[in-house]
Amino acid sequence: MKILILTNKLPFPPRDGGSIATLNMITGLNHAGNRVTCLALNTNKHSYPVEEIPGLLGEQVRFLGVDCDSTIRPLHLMANLLFSSHPYIARRFDIQDFRTALGTLLQEESFDVIQLEGPYPGQYLDLVRKYSQARISLRAHNLEYLIWQRKALHEKSALKRWYLKNMAGRLKRFELQVARQADFLIPISDRDGSCFRELGLQKPQLTIPAGLILEHYPLTEPPADRSIYFIGALDWLPNQEGLLWFLNHVFDRLLSRLPDLRFHVAGRNAPANFMKKLRHPGITFHGEVEDAVSFMQTYRVMVAPLLSGSGIRIKVLEGMALGRPVVTTSAGIEGIPVPDCPCVAVADDPVQFSSQVIRLLDRAADPDLRMKEARLFVSSHFNTFELSKRLTRFYTKEE
């Protein structure tokens, strides 16, 4: 099949969960025998020269990037809030140059499937329907409106809570509109799939979780020191919210029991006021790291304290693939059917969360067993190549 992937950011380099999920899917679909083209908004925030995508990936998959500026502009945001019902975070990805490039591509070439990586490329479906007979697939990395709804539940400021609820309502209408126009729905978790059905979307659907390429995650001996780490984009509200919860309610409990504990935090685009909260003698803030795998291999236990979200947390899967124990919350483990094993702990209460971190830091536990169990689980459930084969068979069956 000829598959066109539309995405609101170039998925290379794969430094964040969304990029990893998109790039691994592209790699897997190509490996499954499909001819894949990726047309991406090459935003100023995540700009990368398409011609420098390395090795076989750049040779086997056609990447087309459209340079654009998707910066959030306060005046535009305010005008949108007052005079539009469309979500601004989607509108800022409606770029005329991308429309031109997409229209030209569809007039010059035909595709069997056009796969939207998330709802934001759905703004171009009028153009897709005008120039293409391809079947349209919405691959939902998450349900954006659920993230904003859940964030509103934890927000104490009445004004911010109103804004979050307002944006959640806009996003729900927008996502539902895009999903209704799609021929197929490819949720990334069963929970998101259930939400689609509850919204009345009874159309062909297949849950395909985000996958990993295991050879990118070599097993290494865990360090002996008492170190924990967090890694994730710090311009994403759920990460900020969860990390603040951990700092305010868990970290001091840990230090009272383990005075020599070190907490290492990595993440891009941390706001200045948020960075101030990370100034603590027991915390090392690394900013955006060049090599996330090396960072995760350096420390002993991952903490993923998310209070809101949707989809699947890629960083949790990466930590497990590297054989590192993970302590997370119910929201953080959504979409990952972890069995009862010693490599992953789930706790929503601060006392329980700190107790689980201490348990997994215990050097008396068998680290070799934990590493093997975690990696085997990821290999069995989240292998990119197997997942891409399943998706290819689904598309072929639905022809």
| DSSP code of residue 383 | B
Contact (Cβ atoms closer than 8 angstroms) between residue 205 and residue 185: yes
The predicted pLDDT at position 171 comes to 94
**What is d(CA 172, CA 149) in angstroms, rounded to the nearest whole number?**
10
Per-residue pLDDT of the chain in tens (399 residues, 90 and over written 9): 999 999 999 999 888 888 999 999 999 999 999 999 999 999 887 789 999 998 778 789 999 999 988 888 888 888 888 889 899 989 999 999 999 999 999 999 999 999 999 999 999 999 999 999 999 999 999 888 888 888 888 788 899 899 999 999 999 999 999 999 999 999 999 889 999 999 999 899 999 999 999 999 998 888 888 999 999 989 888 899 999 999 999 999 999 999 999 999 999 888 888 999 999 999 999 999 989 999 999 999 999 999 877 778 999 999 999 989 899 999 999 888 876 666 889 999 999 999 999 998 886 456 666 778 888 889 999 999 999 999 999 999 865
Has domain 2-211+383-397 been given CATH number 3.30.70.260?
Answer: no
The predicted pLDDT at position 305 comes to 95
Let me know how long the chain is. Answer: 399
**What is d(CA 7, CA 137) in angstroms, rounded to the nearest whole number?**
12
Residue limits of CATH 3.40.50.2000 in the chain: 2-211+383-397, 214-381
* pTM as predicted: 0.89
- Per CATH, the homologous superfamily of domain 214-381 is Glycogen Phosphorylase B; (3.40.50.2000)
The predicted pLDDT at position 259 comes to 94
Residue matched to tokens 């400021």: 157
**What is d(CA 296, CA 286) in angstroms, rounded to the nearest whole number?**
12
